Amino acid sequence: MGSGKSVVGVFGLGYVGIPLAIRMAEVGLKVVGFDIDEKRVADLNANRSPIKHFASETIARARAAGFEATLDFSRTAECDHLIICVPTPLNAYREPDLGFVVATMESISPYFRRGQMLSLESTTWPGTSREILIPYVERAGLVVGEDFHVVYSPEREDPGNKNFTTRTIPKVIGGHTPQCLKAGIDLYSRFIDTVVPVSSTDAAEMVKLLENIQRAVNIGLMNEIKILTDRMNLDIFEIIDAAATKPFGFTKYFPGPGIGGHCIPIDPFYLTWKAREFGLHTRFIELAGEINADMPKYVLNKTIRALSERGIAPKGAKVLALGIAYKRDVDDMRESPSVITMELLRDWGVEVDYSDPNVPVFPRMREHHFDLSSVELTPENLAKYDAVILLTDHSQFDYDLILANARLIVDSRGKFRGSYDKVVRA
């Protein structure tokens, strides 16, 4: 496991950086976490967890083991290993936006020194480490593979998944040179059970995209089939469950109101953008992206139609969105299709509220805003709304209570199986 005397800097203390820092502290590594969010840094240093599925006691144990957070990027010089875990979103034209990565490199490169290793974990296009990161190292007068090492090791965090942890999820690593790869393996094998080396940083960057594009394409297929089976008056969830009894050649993927999180809605567009450099048009990937992106509109249309059939005009109708995090049992709002659905409803003049046990107050977001707090699910509250829309199927919801008291349920997750006059599949 190594001596545990190394100092590791983690840049970006979010859903990737925090689990990584906690795990490294557990094995005795000294971890310095860097972020530009003053409140987040203050919370972590006060043993307050900013992420629901990490208890504050877990942060306290990491702090006792040597983890600290800071706003001072000059402390990069103290660190032997530098791990970048910042967001890589899309811009308004759905093209890669490496602004956070570049800003981080601008902040830390003045403090590069001999003997350091730099690892990027943020999702990006093949070639980023070579074309974006390494020039900063070279401008610092360092030789990659000799006195400074560069690797790419894509994050594989799955918030809320209790079956896998940072330690047990295999870690892919690609190095710019064989010496870089060896340095990466030496670090990551200290706190990850299984390390999977690949031939280059480009290969590792492509691995991350392939993992998430495969999922996006299969979900897009299920969403398209959901629309078709709905027209046929068939239950797509019944069909998926039955198909999954085949012991070979079929893997379950589920439809929904769209796709969310920082990976699946975004990663495919990193590859489609890069493909243009090689004169290729990735039609299959882009089609899946279009289908998934259109699903909130499908849920909207089903809701408007269901209201209209009951003599309720959309303008002024009261609708409750159930679940606004992007996936079950987490508080992560990134790219949540629930929020897009709420905005579409609002555009129609619908009065929208939400209920989410994991998000008590609608958070500050870069592109979306609702001045709302979560509505408690009681019989009285449910009965107030013309419709409730199940968007994220949290296990904390009392589905029997919802079924008994809601006037109309628009179900995008297949939780209300069977034939009910008040349930509309979406």
The interaxial angle of helices 283-309 and 201-231, nearest 10 deg, is: 30
Q: Token pair for residue 18? A: 């925090």
Q: Token pair for residue 214? A: 């495969």
> Which strands form 351-355's sheet, in the order they lie side by side?
351-355, 318-322, 387-390, 409-411, 423-425
CA 217 to chain centre: 16
In whole angstroms, give the CA distance from residue 366 to residue 372.
16
Give the type of residue at 377. Answer: L
Q: Token pair for residue 78? A: 């103290």
C-alpha distances out from residue 9 to 35, 74, 281, Å: 11, 11, 39
CA 153 to chain centre: 17
In whole angstroms, give the CA distance from residue 351 to residue 318.
5
> Catalytic residue at 263?
yes
**Torsions phi, psi for 337 (to 5 deg):** -65, -20
> Which strands form 67-70's sheet, in the order they lie side by side?
67-70, 30-34, 7-11, 81-84, 117-120, 149-152, 171-175, 195-198
Half-sphere exposure of 220 (CA within 13 A, CB side): 20
C-alpha distances out from residue 406 to 380, 393, 412, Å: 9, 16, 15
Half-sphere exposure of 261 (CA within 13 A, CB side): 21
Nearest CA-CA partner of 85 in 186, 13, 160, 152:
13
In whole angstroms, give the CA distance from residue 15 to residue 157.
8
Residues with a catalytic annotation lie at 263
